[in-house]
Amino acid sequence: MKYAVYASVAVLAVTAQGAFAEAHLSFTPGEGDFNWDSYNAFAELYDLSGQTVTITGPWTGNEKEKVDKVFDYFEAATGAEVNYSGSDSFEQDIVISTRAGSAPNLAVFPQPGLAADMASQGLLTPLADGTAEWVAANYAAGQSWVDLGTYAGQDGTESLYGLFYRVDLKSLVWFSPIAFDEAGYDIPETMEELKELTQQIVDDGGTPWCIGLGSGAATGWPATDWVEDMMLRTAEPSVYDQWVKNEIPFNDPAVVGAIEEFGWFAKNDDFVQGGAQSVATTDFRDSPAGLFTIPQECYMHRQASFIPAFFPEGTEMGVDADFFYFPAYAEKDLGTPVLGAGTLFAITTPSDATSAMIEFLKTPISHELWMAQGGFLTAHAGVNPATYSDDTQRAQGEILANATTFRFDASDLMPSEIGAGAFWSGMIDYVTGTPAEDVATTIQTRWDSIR
């Protein structure tokens, strides 16, 4: 079947757009573990020769090169041309261009907040009817992604405006497999087991955690991720959503409780490398170093999927370092929630080719083509995990696939004075001695002042 598809795609690549040679495509149609059936079915629906799709987003450099390779297949299938431009100042540029009436066809938003704001101003076009139902049925924790992409338009009517594409994963704990093996420690599968392991390491004479909140002007942000993960593990997702929108105050018992759950790990001198006071002053980039020392300075580090960029040079994943899912409480029965971030496509200037691009992004192969290049995770349940570039990405993809709930980083959704201000500084106050309720009350007072 694959080779029959290969023949069909090869014809499309030549006839739909004569300038395209098969060699222009990075992965030979019909070969490998890609879902060529989804590509072939898509290609049979469109002839968009002479049309152009303009797209802008945050991907530059190596990331732009990767997404351009994905768009090559849209061009080959449809005959349309894709012009993608990446910008480090995307958030400012897209607002300016839409208000000036010179917006591209599609914008790739790195977080939902700006997309929601633009939708409320009538600057975005809702996705086609039925897209929300499709996402709910075809993405892991699908309703979560529908909710994250649904906003009120200028008239107040809620519609799905955003289709999520690339996902970042935060609910991870990194560790040294060698150190775990030598000590005889098992990977904890529940939060109860993680807390038991934390105490066991102390009883054995070790230090369980390395935690650092330092990040220059952004000091404190790593703690917000801890608190957000704990909110998802101690309260219903609806409570998390209310917190993000300030429909419950920051000093609500559910929020205070989540802060104190973080404190259980971070404010115990026995649990943290250097003692609790070091948490506020240790740079987050330096904090995982203790995983790789001999003797072992710490055994676990909770951080997002990007942290290996700060591991020692030559670190071999799966050998020197590995990760496991930051587990949920068994007794609370809240499923397997995942905290993360992600990018979404939204329509800024509609056209037939624009609608076709949205349909292309719904195909498994449009995700697999970047998965194979590395640095890409997706919640699309129809992709073939074999196309992930390595075992690390594949295992992280499995965590996403098994998620019962996905929630976007709360601090990124809050007003910047809170999420990138009072929340950050409040966490530093908390780990250095201020009670959680006092910290939360101060943050809420700040939120009240900006209304």
Predicted confidence pLDDT, tens digits, the chain (451 residues): 333 333 344 444 434 443 343 548 999 999 999 999 999 999 999 999 999 999 999 999 999 999 999 999 999 999 999 999 999 999 999 999 999 999 999 999 998 999 999 999 999 999 999 999 999 999 999 999 999 999 999 999 999 999 999 999 999 999 999 999 999 999 999 999 999 999 999 999 999 999 999 999 999 999 999 999 999 999 999 999 999 999 999 999 999 999 999 999 999 999 999 999 999 999 999 999 999 999 999 999 999 999 999 999 999 999 999 999 999 999 999 999 999 999 999 999 999 999 999 999 999 999 999 999 999 999 999 999 999 999 999 999 999 999 999 999 999 999 999 999 999 999 999 999 999 999 999 999 999 999 7
Measured CA to CA, the distance from residue 233 to residue 250 in angstroms comes to 17
Query: Which residue's entry shows tokens 């950050």?
Result: 424
> What CATH superfamily is the domain 172-338+409-449?
Periplasmic binding protein-like II (3.40.190.10)
- Give the residue range(s) of CATH 3.40.190.10 domains in the chain: 2-168+349-401, 172-338+409-449
Cα dihedral 214, 218, 224, 225 sign: negative
Our CA angle for 411, 230, 203, nearest 5°, is: 130
Class of domain 2-168+349-401: alpha beta
Measured CA to CA, the distance from residue 271 to residue 356 in angstroms comes to 53
Measured CA to CA, the distance from residue 364 to residue 73 in angstroms comes to 13
b (16+ CB within 10 A) / e for 400-425: bbebebbbbbbbbbbeeebbbbbbbe
Measured CA to CA, the distance from residue 399 to residue 167 in angstroms comes to 12
Instruction: Mention every residue, 6+ apart, whose C-beta is less than 8 A from residue 354.
Output: 53, 105, 106, 347
| Contact assessment for residue 353 and residue 109, using Cβ atoms and an 8 Å cutoff | no
Measured CA to CA, the distance from residue 141 to residue 244 in angstroms comes to 19
| CB neighbourhood size of 394 (10 A) | 15
Measured CA to CA, the distance from residue 167 to residue 401 in angstroms comes to 12
Per-residue tokens: 102: 């010179």
